[in-house]
Amino acid sequence: MLRRCAQFIDRWHWLILLLAGPFMVFPALERIPVLLVVPLVWGIGWIARPRAPLPSTPLNTLMLVLMIMVLVSVVVTPDLAFSMHEVAGMVLAFGIFFGAAREARRPLGLWLLLALFLAIGLAIAAFSLVNTNWPAKIGFLASVASHLPPRLVGVVGIEGAFNPNQMAGSLLWVAPVLICLPVGLVMAVRPRASAAAARPVSRLVRVFLIALVLISAIPVLGVLLLAQSRGAYLALTLVLTGIVFLALPRRGRWVMAIVLVIAIVAASVLIWQRRDTFGQQLSFVLDVEPAAGTDTSTGSLNTLDGRLEIWSRAIYGIEDFPFTGMGMNSFRRVVNLLYPLFLTSPDTDIAHAHNEFLQAALDLGIPGMIAFGALYLVALWMLRRVWLVSTGDALTRALALGLGGGLYAHCVFGMTDAVALGAKPGALFWLLLGLICGLFAQHGGSAVNGISSSSVTGTAPLEATHAASAVHRPV
């Protein structure tokens, strides 16, 4: 009887997380018991499915390390109330990841979660249009953004307007998927797109999906452009270059590689010739600008020297708290007490270390930083497996490219800025990892074990011999 009740509740685990989510997104000390919802859902899953209470993924060990370090951060944080937003965000992140990884193992679940992922990105872009203080970094874009003053419609728990850099970093998870998915859908419509897979979805439906994704891409890419985050521009440029390179045939890759080498050599010569002003050019890439009336050697947080100073203070903090971290969200308070800044006013709120990996070490210690960085490596390895075994399946390859592109783009962005662990937009990151695990379970994971795999569109399964031979087939 107990197992039957647990099985019934377990079927609706996603609904329980959905109802508890708002209380974890906007937490308070009096609502700490809400954080027990996630482990409670896992406990019910253990009763309902004792052999597999949580989905088995290549990321499970890394997630366990992060869970342990979050618990450690709760113990060491100097102010639990101040850290509660990020701690609750991480608890919700674990629930999102394992819930998404479980549901995405099924073709329908994968596509529904992908639709939710894109819808969240579209909602962020739409809300940003009325709640962002647009910067004035690039002339013609600043003039366009000036016609979109923030109306500050407001959200409970979000003070003031959106930070354009953080908003751009969040949209980087979504933009490559919106770029790659229509290409995959177009290829799937073509009669010879995949001789190995059936097409149960009508061509008319696919054309409708293509139009819907393209329409959704317009506001996302438009807002990403208006954010004027040069770090986001650089990340998206690198990713689009990589996507085009992988999509080209072998001969086209050689041509592109030669062109890129020539471009890199020419850029290197240009940088050498203008080496005296290279610091200013680097400031442009790092999203920092000289302070008014100062040279590049002095200024504030918005100068290159100011950014370097913050990184140095983050390193000091990691040296002082290497194994435990200083507690989630504590750096913004501790930095002015223990590591005073000379180029930035003490009244300035240093929200994070402007580097996601340094911030992860400050929040969760070096073990947490290693686990966080390893998430990227293992996720990209999974996508590589999916790419290798999906020869002839244009839609699956396009989805793998889009998910991998979003992951890599945000990683590049995270070198000079950050969406800190536990932050509200970070839900997209954990949902993205869940989608990657689901895609890997349907394609890459089954091919490794020699089991037949099926297309994410619900197509007929491929033969195991075909999947195994695809691994050795030249890309």
Write out pLDDT tens, residues 172-223.
999 999 999 988 888 875 544 443 344 445 677 778 888 888 898 999 998 8
Q: What is the mean predicted confidence (pLDDT) over 67-79?
A: 93
Model pLDDT for residues 409-454, shown as the tens digit of each residue: 999 999 988 888 988 889 999 999 999 999 999 986 644 433 333 3
Give the pair of three-digit tokens for residue 246: 């992988």
Please state, rounded to an integer, the average pLDDT across all residues of the chain.
Answer: 80
Q: Position of tokens 């945000």?
A: 410
CB count, 10 Å around CB of 147?
Answer: 7
Per DSSP (E only), the strands in 74-207 are none
Model pLDDT for residues 223-277, shown as the tens digit of each residue: 888 888 888 888 999 999 988 888 888 888 888 888 888 988 887 787 777 656 5
Q: Is the pLDDT of residue 55 over 80?
A: yes
Q: What is the pLDDT of residue 14?
A: 84
| Residue 98: partners with Cβ closer than 8 Å, 6 or more residues away | 42, 54, 55, 63, 434
Q: What is the mean predicted confidence (pLDDT) over 46-51?
A: 85
Q: What is the pLDDT of residue 251?
A: 84
Residues 467 and 449: their CA atoms lie apart, in Å, by 10
CB count, 10 Å around CB of 300?
Answer: 20
DSSP character at residue 352: S
| Residue 168: partners with Cβ closer than 8 Å, 6 or more residues away | 224, 227, 229, 231, 232, 413
Whole-prediction pTM:
0.84
CB pairs under 8 A, 24+ apart, for 318-321? 318/358, 318/361, 318/362, 318/366, 321/76, 321/362, 321/365
Using alpha carbons, list the distances in angstroms from residue 285 to 6, 288, 374: 53, 8, 26
Model pLDDT for residues 316-330, shown as the tens digit of each residue: 999 999 999 999 999
Residues 176 and 402: their CA atoms lie apart, in Å, by 5
Share of the chain above pLDDT 70, in %: 80
Residue-by-residue DSSP string for 282-297: HHHHTT--PPTT--TT
φ/ψ (deg, to 5) at 132: -130, 135
Q: What is the pLDDT of residue 379?
A: 96
Give the residue among 469, 391, 449 at the shortest CA–CA distance from 196: 391
CB count, 10 Å around CB of 224?
Answer: 25
Return the bridge partners of 132, or none.
Answer: 162
Give the pair of three-digit tokens for residue 81: 């109330």
Residues 304 and 397: their CA atoms lie apart, in Å, by 39
Q: What is the pLDDT of residue 161?
A: 61
Model pLDDT for residues 328-361, shown as the tens digit of each residue: 999 988 888 888 888 777 777 788 888 999 999 9
